[in-house]
A and B are shown apart, each in its own frame.
Chain A
């Protein structure tokens, strides 16, 4: 059979990597030549095999390769080919480095395991916190043109009001006059009573502009949102449901559209259901109804009740929009001095507006985990430095044989990158657990007000962050050891018995890293210590009320009924009396806000005193209560009396104040009998002083508060507070009364819901949960940092002892006692730790000031905390030195002196 000469030639010339067309031509020509030689040989009588051999051997293939290479590859082409070859070689060498790194790790599994776990803890902590930051701060919303959406508020100079809502008349002006905004939409949070089902349900929801959803750029999951004219009278009887409400009360019925529901005695047709992740505004509302601007409201400039969001026109920046709004508000100051004096509008980006409460907490938590990762990097760098010392000779031989410095460094960096990437994978696993724990750490009753919290989880952002952090960590950990390992004079290193100058430099770096670890962990420990002390102070603070076995139940009276104050007062007082008569109930009261805090805000004036400057006008929290409230929550009366049955709507107006208000404004006299102006009506006389109670943020137990009587100011919504006797074993059982109280309410009015109820302990836990979570997080991170720093110090001291075995042997031979050796080693450790502590104290002084706004009862530079933490770290660090020190005392001088 005739040979395939094309194939034979192509195989021989493949190494040239010729362009395909050129290869075809050359192969064909040379193949023809070979075929001719082959045919000649056959004609001469040679066998097929002999003819083939003659043909193939007639060519000097290497010469052909060289000559063809010279001809076919011009200088540039030759360079490109070499580079391509080199590129192929580079990929090969990178794979080689990876294989080598894996082998090195398997050869020293202990070191690799410690390094991977250490980095995993640091990276995992960072990924956990980053996930929270990503969903809560960076992307709490996912609106298409979010950068054009701004919240608009007014600050009223001279009153201390920095974040007032907008009046309807002002909104009307902006809609008419603005050129920068495409739309203004509003939302008003409100409560609704859903009736028509088995029992009435109390729901929260929003009145919104018809253009609300289109301004946000969101589409419903089912049905539609509002049409432009549906916020006009007669067309507004439509409602859009939140996904959670649709699931909870309507069993996710796909035929919900078109159904009619009854809210506050009005009927509304369900026209749409929003997607699961849509939760805006983030105040816990579950439905949206078009808001109709009534003629009476349209001219009202004093009633600032609209939360306004502006959609900027494309191409208009927030700064430009704000400048225009500000100019309009300044013009209104001139036009309407009676209502708009000192009123100045401003804008806040939607993200920034929604995250102002969580930003502070998450920001310094991220700082804390960054510290943890830095400490982890220092630890691993130390491990790699130690490994570099052990591999000195190996690296010296490689460099002596011609490996470039960069080549060897690349190998070492590949090793650290591999460890870091493995640490990243394990860390990702840790972070899945961490994120779950974080999500469960905040009760749903609180987290529903945190936008983006429901999205908390490991997503592509978190994955990308993990990869990036792993890569950076690998470089940070490995760069110094790689630099150090390849810096030495390999000639010196290869000499027998040589330690080289490099070992001294390497030890210095290890010491520097340990000092850095100690300093960083001290800063973190002090920060955590301050937050923990603050939280303990909060827990130990006299709340001003007793939450034991006490429950709060919300009652919201529907609009259209109970419009008269007497109707409301009667219903609430009847309910309180019926609840008080139930077995086991020891006290019942009513309040407009559940402690802790729960009060509104208002300005007041003291009758008989000159009117203060507007910026100095007194402010206080305001609460509406009944007399029984104070016994129900356990807030004692300090002076005067409580409300009585005689303090009704026809009697002179009275108030109670707390001790803080009395002390602040009536320091030189008794507050009892003084009078306050709270509104435009008759003044209120102070008839009693009650104890202080802690505020909603749990950071101030001395805010002034004014208590008004329900009988003189009847609201539409109140909380029923019920205190019960614990059972025989002392266990809390107040929640067992919920059913009975619901029946009592139903007996008064079967259409009234009693949906939300919680114990005062639950209320307190909700309020304290953010501080609790941050305290736990910082405590865990600080502990982690302490463990890492201690382990790092132990490793350095152990290594130092091992390296100085000969020196220790000499000392012992010259007469040093065990205790001398022990103290020698411990002193070495003490020097490092002391230096780290001094640097750490300075660092903490600079950094912990950032914590001031979240601390309670403790300053950011609290000397006791600093001293206690520094002392604790010193003791822990010195304990880490004890084991190596003891090992040093066991050195046999004969053995030590024999070995070098």
Chain B
């Protein structure tokens, strides 16, 4: 596996955790938000999204609940768990330390 794939997988997990931190979201919403907010830079196979969501759910980082709203089909909304919050904080710190190191060495300044 290339470094690029490892980085991508790790970042995708953090992206999902971050997106459900503020409010519960369903799978389609998460995919659209990642694409929109990254201006299309961050793309991943849609077919990987749901398996990743299930993997995160099995690890106890997010929790999915079926919610049926009036006039709509039921959807599964995912929200961050306490464990997920802890992991997200750790990952943010890790990425922050990483980019700081990159900046010191390669003069990369993250926005």
Residues of chain A at the chain B interface (Cβ within 8 Å): 25-26, 28-30, 32-33, 36, 58-61, 63-64, 67-68, 70-72
Q: What is the minimal beta-carbon distance from B62 to any residue of chain A, in angstroms?
A: 14
CA of A247 to CA of B86, assembled, Å = 95
> Are B58 and A60 closer than 8 Å at their CB atoms?
no
Contact of A29 among B45, B50, B52, B55 (CB under 8 A): B50
Question: Chain A at the B interface: mostly helix, strand, loop or mixed?
Answer: helix
B51 touches A30 (CB 8 A): no
CB-CB < 8 A to A59: which residues of B?
Answer: 46-47
Closest Cβ of chain B: how far from A826's Cβ, in Å? 76
Would B47 and A71 count as touching, CB distance under 8 A?
Answer: no
CB neighbours of B26 from chain A (8 A): 32
Task: Write the residues of chain B forming the contact surface with A, with a CB cutoff of 8 angstroms.
Answer: 26-28, 31, 45-48, 50-52, 54-55, 58, 66, 73-76
Known: A29-B50, A63-B47, A64-B47. A71 touches B58 (CB 8 A): yes
The residues of A that contact B51 with a CB separation of less than 8 Å are: 64, 67-68, 70-71
With A29-B27, A33-B28: A63-B48 Cβ-Cβ less than 8 Å: yes
A68, closest chain B residue (CB): B51
The answer to whether A26 and B45 touch across the interface, beta carbons within 8 angstroms, is: no
Is A72 within 8 A of B54, CB to CB?
yes
Tell me the bound Cα distance from A382 to B75 in angstroms: 70
CB distance from A100 to the nearest CB of B (A): 41
Identity of the chain B residue whose Cβ is nearest the Cβ of A58 in the assembled complex: B46
| Contact between B45 and A30, CB atoms less than 8 A apart | no
Which A residues are in CB contact (< 8 Å) with B48?
Answer: 63, 67
* A-B contacts, 23 listed (Cβ < 8 Å): A28-B74, A28-B76, A29-B50, A29-B76, A32-B26, A32-B73, A33-B46, A33-B50, A36-B28, A58-B46, A60-B46, A60-B47, A61-B47, A63-B48, A64-B50, A64-B51, A67-B47, A67-B48, A67-B51, A67-B52, A70-B51, A71-B55, A71-B58
State the majority secondary structure of interface residues on B.
helix
Which B residues are in CB contact (< 8 Å) with A30? 50
Looking at the assembled complex, report how far the CB atom of A71 sits from the nearest CB atom of chain B, in whole angstroms: 5
Cα of A28 to Cα of B31 in the assembled complex, Å: 17
CB closest residue in chain B, given A70: B51
The CA-CA distance from A299 to B50 in the complex, in Å, is: 98
From residue B103, how far is it (CB to closest CB) to chain A in Å? 34
Docked CA distance A36–B75 (Å):
12
Instruction: Say how far B58's CB is from chain A's closest CB, in angstroms.
Output: 7
A33 touches B27 (CB 8 A): yes
Across-interface contacts of A29 in B (CB, < 8 A): 27, 50, 76
Pair B45/A60 contact, Cβ less than 8 Å: yes
Q: How far is the CA of A32 from the CA of B64 in the complex (A)?
A: 15
Distance (whole angstroms) from the CB of A65 to the closest CB of chain B = 9
A64 to B31, CA, bound (A): 15
Task: Kindly state the separation between the CA atoms of A59 and B49 in the bound complex, as whole angstroms.
Answer: 10
For the complex of A and B, the 10 pairs showing the least CB-CB separation, nearest first, are A67-B51, A64-B47, A63-B47, A60-B47, A36-B28, A71-B51, A71-B54, A33-B28, A59-B47, A71-B55
Using Cβ atoms and an 8 Å threshold, which residues of chain B touch A68? 50-51, 54
Question: Which residues does chain B contribute within 8 Å of A60, judged by CB atoms?
Answer: 45-47
| A25 touching B76 in the complex, CB below 8 Å, given contacts A63-B48, A72-B54 | yes
Q: Closest CB-CB distance, B111 to chain A, in whole Å?
A: 30
Contacts of B46 in A (CB 8 A): 33, 58-60
Nearest-neighbour CB distance to chain A for B54, whole angstroms, equals 5
* B31 to A, closest residue via Cβ: A33
Q: How far is the CB of A35 from chain B (nearest CB, A)?
A: 8
List A contacts of B50 (CB < 8 A): 26, 29-30, 33, 64, 68
Closest to A72 in B: B54
Q: Which of B26, B28, B51, B52 has the most CB of A within 10 A?
A: B51
Give Cα A631–Cα B72 distance, bound, in whole angstroms. Answer: 117
Complex-state Cα separation, A25 to B58, whole angstroms: 15
Bound form: Cα–Cα A639–B14 in Å: 127
> Across the interface, do A63 and B45 meet the contact criterion of CB distance under 8 Å?
yes
Give the CA-CA distance A70 to B9 in the complex, in Å.
Answer: 15
Question: In the assembly, what is the distance between CA of A58 and CA of B50, in Å?
Answer: 14
> In the complex, how many angstroms separate the beta carbon of A214 from the nearest chain B beta carbon?
70
Contacts of B58 in A (CB 8 A): 71
Which residue from chain A places its CB closest to the CB of B56 in the assembled complex? A71
CB distance from A73 to the nearest CB of B (A): 12
In the complex, A30 Cα to B50 Cα: how many Å? Answer: 8
B53 to chain A, nearest CB (A): 8
Q: Specify which chain B residues have a CB less than 8 angstroms from the CB of A63 in the assembled complex.
A: 45, 47-48
Assuming A33-B46, A36-B28, what are 7 further A-B pairs, CB within 8 angstroms?
A: A25-B76, A29-B27, A32-B73, A33-B27, A60-B45, A64-B50, A71-B55
Query: Which one of A29, A30, A72 has the greatest number of beta carbons of chain B within 10 Å?
Result: A29
For B58, give the chain A residue with the smallest CB separation: A71
- Minimum CB–CB distance from B57 to chain A (whole Å) comes to 9
